[in-house]
Amino acid sequence: MTESLKLTVDDQRDGLSVIYTDGYINNQGGEEIARVAYELIEKGQKCLLLNLAGTKIVNSIGISILIEIIEKMLEIDGKLAFCRLTPTIEKTFHIMGLAQYAGIYSDEETAVTSMTS
Amino acid sequence: MTESLKLTVDDQRDGLSVIYTDGYINNQGGEEIARVAYELIEKGQKCLLLNLAGTKIVNSIGISILIEIIEKMLEIDGKLAFCRLTPTIEKTFHIMGLAQYAGIYSDEETAVTSMTS
Amino acid sequence: MQQVRLTLPMIPNMELTASKTACAMGEQIGLSPDKIDEVQMAVVEACINAFEHSGAADREVRILFQVLGSTDEPNGLEIIIQDGGGGFSPDKIRPRDTEEILNAPRKRGHGLRIIDGLMDEVEIRSDSEGTTVVMRKMR
Amino acid sequence: MQQVRLTLPMIPNMELTASKTACAMGEQIGLSPDKIDEVQMAVVEACINAFEHSGAADREVRILFQVLGSTDEPNGLEIIIQDGGGGFSPDKIRPRDTEEILNAPRKRGHGLRIIDGLMDEVEIRSDSEGTTVVMRKMR
Ligand SMILES: Nc1ncnc2c1ncn2[C@@H]1O[C@H](COP(=O)(O)OP(=O)(O)O)[C@@H](O)[C@H]1O
Ligand SMILES: Nc1ncnc2c1ncn2[C@@H]1O[C@H](COP(=O)(O)OP(=O)(O)O)[C@@H](O)[C@H]1O
């Protein structure tokens, strides 16, 4: 079966890593993001940006895993932020109240500037 | 109801006009193309290029109307060609034998060069 | 009235087939792309709820897509998602706030809130014969 | 076996709902994008044939999407498109060549050729009770 989420990581930046998603964030997709995020945290990265430009659909199980990552980040005094959400994904994140715990930015540049300053 | 085909025409070129399609070429879509093509022919244009980059699906009724336009072009010693077909639309045009009567080009530049030389 | 019926097996990712069908219907009646996205996500949630919680013996979800208004002037889309599972008491499902979710051991309980938030109207009928979620999105 | 059923009203553009469902199923089993396009176009043709020629009293087309092979290793997609119309004799439909089509007064008779050309296997059963088109695309 395909339809699986593809991730690309850019960890060659100063002070933050960007994770790019491509596809559906469901159970497995969320877990894949968590795996990659925890790997980056292990390596000492405390600032993560999830660029969701390649994602049109997220389900609530996927979101619940994202909330777990946010929690972990709060514990270690790190930061997790999102950018390039579709209006519907942004709306869904607001319904869940995620915006209180994680930054949501329209584009990558704004996110990076705000997170690293 | 929406889903209707959108057309853009570039008639500001030397020796040919390009019709760009956006959407599904069905009955109405084919007739819309025919209407625009016949208008251009009326104005004296004998060289038409259909750029299908914005079309993913064509149905057989739409194709039958395209064949009618080709016929009309043959009558007036004009040329009709296509470019930017998906592999499936190209395959379908070959199944119908359209390629014998109308040029099929991968991109607009190649089509224009070949048609106006 | 214009009706499309879809029957899906309860298998992971089948919710995407439902959401694509919803997308095609939405385009058909001229819903805006953003509203179509919202419908697609709500359909996904309703399907995975049925997959995960219904316990239906036939392992099938039945979906009815219904165009509201007239054929010439459709004014919305009604989607009815039905399973033959054990049901639940929608009234007893209390919306949790984020604080509570963050502190709960399992981070769940979002599906119905998402559906409510994304659709214009939602009704849930559920008993021991199964669950029916009726949701509407107006143009 | 994994089955999805779709029932569509015979209304213009409803064939697009069928083709989107086919797309979702194709993605699900990992068909290549080009093969998915081919399936989508064949489904469109089979639907519009039913819409235009069947004369079915219930004005409905029933479509069954069936994954071939096992759930873990799907190896193709079978699509069965069924109408309850008057039927026809598939053997009497002679493929026409383009020359003939160009000279014919009405430029039609393409649908079945397209379906044949785009799918790996096609079977048509038709009698006075209706028409069933079975088409398969392998991975
Ligand atoms: N189709 C259904 N059949 C049975 N129970 C359901 C169904 N949909 C929802 N429920 C019940 O409602 C609860 C809340 O659902 P929801 O808000 O979607 O959150 P979650 O799925 O994350 O638990 C579920 O945990 C389940 O007990
Ligand atoms: N579902 C159907 N019910 C009844 N007749 C059909 C059906 N599908 C095809 N036919 C018959 O087969 C003929 C050829 O079909 P086709 O190759 O699709 O060409 P076209 O639709 O352009 O006529 C039709 O004209 C019709 O007589």
Q: Give the tens place of pLDDT for each residue, C73-96.
A: 999 999 999 999 999 998 877 655
pLDDT at D103: 59
**Does residue C45 contact residue A60 with C-beta atoms inside 8 Å?**
yes
Non-local CB neighbours of B57 within 8 Å, separated by 6+ positions: B24, B25, D16, D19, D40, D41, D44
Residue A50 token pair: 């999830």
Q: In angstroms, what separates the C-alpha of A109 from chain D's closest C-alpha?
A: 33
Q: How far, in Å, CA of C84 to CA of B36, rounded?
A: 53
Subunit contact B68:D107, Cβ cutoff 8 A: yes
pLDDT at D94: 60
pLDDT higher than 50, residue B1? no
Which portions of chain D are predicted below pLDDT 70? 1, 94-109
Subunit contact D7:C8, Cβ cutoff 8 A: no
Report CA-CA distances (Å) from C69 to A17, C2, C72, D60: 49, 10, 8, 20
pLDDT higher than 80, residue A57? yes
**Coil, strand or helix at D91:** helix
Average pLDDT score over chain D: 90
**ipTM for the predicted complex:** 0.85
Question: Ligand nearest C104 Cα, by number?
Answer: 1
**Does residue A46 contact residue A69 with C-beta atoms inside 8 Å?**
no
Q: How far, in Å, CA of D130 to CA of B75, rounded?
A: 41
Backbone angles phi, psi at D122, to 5 degrees: -140, 130
- Which of B57, B64, B100 faces D41 most closely, judged by CB atoms? B57
- Of C35 and B15, which is predicted with more confidence? C35
pLDDT at D97: 58
Average pLDDT score over chain C: 90
Subunit contact D27:A1, Cβ cutoff 8 A: no
pLDDT at D1: 59
Neighbours of D1 (CB within 10 A): 11
Beta bridge partners of B18: B10, B49
pLDDT higher than 90, residue C57? yes
Contact list, D71 vs chain C (CB under 8 Å): 11
- Tell me, rounded to whole angstroms, the distance of Cα D127 from its chain centroid: 17
CA of D11 to the centre of ligand 2 (A): 17
Closest CA to A50 of A4, A95, A97, A98: A98
Q: Which of C88, C91, C122, C125 to mutate to test the pocket of ligand 1 (most atoms within 8 A of CB)?
A: C88
Convert the pLDDT of each residue in B58-71 to its tens digit.
999 999 899 999 99
Beta bridge partners of D123: D134
**What percentage of residues in chain B have a pLDDT greater than 70?**
97
Q: Which atom of ligand 1 lies nearest, measured to the CA of C133?
A: 1
Neighbours of C127 (CB within 10 A): 11
pLDDT classification of A15: cutoffs 50, 70, 90: confident
Average pLDDT over residues B66-89: 94
Which residue in A has a C-alpha nearest to residue C52's C-alpha?
Answer: A61
Neighbours of D131 (CB within 10 A): 24
pLDDT at C49: 96
3 state SS for chain C? CCEEEEEEECCCCHHHHHHHHHHHHHHHCCCCHHHHHHHHHHHHHHHHHHHHHCCCCCCEEEEEEEEEECCCCEEEEEEEEEECCCCCCHHHCCCCCHHHHHHCCCCCCCHHHHHHHHCCEEEEEEECCEEEEEEEEEC
Burial of residue C86, with CB atoms counted within 10 A of its CB: 0-12 exposed, 13-18 middle, 19 or more buried: middle
pLDDT classification of C71: cutoffs 50, 70, 90: confident
**Does residue A59 contact residue A26 with C-beta atoms inside 8 Å?**
yes
pLDDT at A12: 87
pLDDT at A1: 37
Touch A-B: 3+ C-beta pairs under 8 A = no
Interface test with B, best of C20, C23, C27, C35 (most B CBs within 10 A): C27
**Coil, strand or helix at D9:** strand
**What percentage of residues in chain A have a pLDDT greater than 90?**
82
